[in-house]
Amino acid sequence: MGYADGSATGRAEASTSTPDGLRVAVVGAGIGGLSAALSLLRAGFDVRVFEQAPTLAEIGAGVQVSPNASRILHRLGLADELARTGVRPVALHQRRWADGRTLLRAPLGTPLEQTFGYPYYQMHRADLLGALARALPADRLHLGRRFTGLTDHGQVVTASFADGTRVKCDVLVGADGIHSTVRRELFGAEAARFTGCVAYRGLVPAHRLRHLDLDVSGQVWMGPGRHFVHYFVSGRRLVNFVGVVERDAWTRESWTDRGDLAEALAAYPDWHPQVREILASVDETYVWALFDRPPLPRWSAGRVTLLGDACHPMLPFLAQGAAQAIEDGAALTSCLVEAGPDPAAALVRYERVRLPRTSRMQALSAENKIRFHLPDGPEQRERDARMASGGTDWSFGAIAWIYRHDAAIVDGRPAAPSALDRT
Ligand SMILES: Cc1cc2nc3c(=O)[nH]c(=O)nc-3n(C[C@H](O)[C@H](O)[C@H](O)COP(=O)(O)OP(=O)(O)OC[C@H]3O[C@@H](n4cnc5c(N)ncnc54)[C@H](O)[C@@H]3O)c2cc1C
């Protein structure tokens, strides 16, 4: 059994012979669920995705896709779509909040692509989600289906939905995000924890910012108790920004809400004019409370498992949340392909290979909150000096463990060699 071929932008085709006839139900059609479904489908599994929303939509915001994720997306046939809508930044530029001084400028672009074999993209989330959704045959995606519960019968799992329908499957994958119902069903209810940060997010038409002469880099501005990130998306037609501000508590009911523009601007008083001008140019902003969870000791029980934010939500300060969700789908596919008739063993192996890596990403993302948000003073000066002298190692050697990783290779061998390095 091999991976079915798909054209670069076309739909993935289901193979007629499924590995052991295995039916896989994926709950959630976010970036994680759709990537996993495409990967599983190309491996020949009988995949169905169940999404609670009546239509697929993403908020107006950006997402960075590093080479560890783009290598998987290219294999899924999305190279042309990513090249068309994604932006390839030339550098990551970390700067000081008030005077704009460069603390560190690390190359991305061609040198990174030559080193790791795949591009770094900065994208509109809707462009990425749309590319994934278009690649999935329409009859594989079931919208308006809110998962409510499951029964694991040992050899078969029954999933229940709010509309009263039930679906029998051989493996159930919860890709239903940070407030995962599948996770609750497996391990009990536990509220996500507020990280003490809220994010203002928005998009500005690039022509409004022409006078700033922004270069095509990801810029991270660091200041006391907050930071600000911006980069181009959608073929450079839009500038995406994320402004992260520390807060004592999150009192609104919704965890994502339309934000107040004046409030966003007021959160960055005395910051460099470039930051304030970007904020002043936006028509609407969303404010997004940032939650996470500590690493789970387990992701799987029997024939049910989790992926993406459902099992390893993290602060977005390493830009690896979606990338790790995409990696999960590739690793899960490899484990299921190799397992043959024992999917439960495959799920145990999947969590064993993935958990240490995603836990490390969760920890590093949290550490970046401290590094980015140091108050003015000796510690901040020491950080700045260390970054300026190259003491903060952002070299390709230092980040290779993130960017070079090929999640489809499990325990040192690819489960489905035909799927590797085909772009
Ligand atoms: C400010 C910010 C910036 C970020 N920037 C980056 C970045 O640059 N790079 C990066 O890699 N990551 C980034 N991330 C993280 C990234 O957005 C998430 O990690 C990623 O979207 C998780 O994908 P997911 O598919 O696991 O979950 P989600 O995107 O949350 O998708 C879950 C899906 O499941 C559906 N669902 C939920 N419950 C049910 C149910 N009961 N039944 C059926 N369907 C259900 C939801 O409707 C949704 O469609 C950022 C996050 C934030 C907040």
Tens digit of each residue's pLDDT (9 = 90 or more) over 11-35: 333 333 356 679 999 999 999 999 9
Q: Is 181 in the pocket of ligand 1 (CB under 6 A)?
A: yes
CA dist., res. 133 & res. 240, Å (int):
22
- Domain range annotation of the chain: 19-88+118-191+293-373
Q: Is 147 in the pocket of ligand 1 (CB under 6 A)?
A: yes
- Examine the residue annotation and report whether 231 is marked as an active-site residue of this protein: yes
Per-residue confidence (pLDDT) for residue 258, from 0 to 100: 79
State the average pLDDT over residues 134-140: 97
Per-residue confidence (pLDDT) for residue 64, from 0 to 100: 97
CA dist., res. 308 & res. 329, Å (int):
9
Per-residue confidence (pLDDT) for residue 257, from 0 to 100: 75
Residue 5 has pLDDT above 80, yes or no: no
Instruction: Choose the catalytic residue: 3, 200, 231, 403.
Output: 231
CA dist., res. 379 & res. 366, Å (int):
18
Q: How confident is the model at residue 8 (pLDDT cuts 50, 70, 90)?
A: very low
Test site for ligand 1: of 287, 309, 311, 357, most ligand atoms within 8 A of the Cβ: 309
State the average pLDDT over residues 253-263: 76
- The tens digit of pLDDT for each residue in 304-358 reads 999 999 999 999 999 999 999 999 999 999 999 988 788 999 999 999 999 999 9
DSSP state of 216: S
- The tens digit of pLDDT for each residue in 388-402 reads 777 677 778 888 999
Q: Is 317 in the pocket of ligand 1 (CB under 6 A)?
A: no
Q: What per-residue string of b and e applies to 294-319 under the rule 16 or more CB within 10 Å gives b?
A: ebbeebbebbbbbbbbbbbbbbbbbb
Q: How confident is the model at residue 137 (pLDDT cuts 50, 70, 90)?
A: very high
Element (H, E) at 243: strand 238-246
Q: Is 202 in the pocket of ligand 1 (CB under 6 A)?
A: no
- The tens digit of pLDDT for each residue in 233-250 reads 999 999 999 999 999 887
Q: Per CATH, which fold does 19-88+118-191+293-373 belong to?
A: FAD/NAD(P)-binding domain (3.50.50)
DSSP state of 99: T
What percent of the chain is predicted at pLDDT more than 90?
75
Q: What per-residue string of b and e applies to 365-388 under the rule 16 or more CB within 10 Å gives b?
A: bbebbebbbbeeeeebeebbeebe
CA of 176 to the centre of ligand 1 (A): 8
**C-beta separation of 156 from 171 below 8 A:** no
pLDDT, the chain, mean: 89
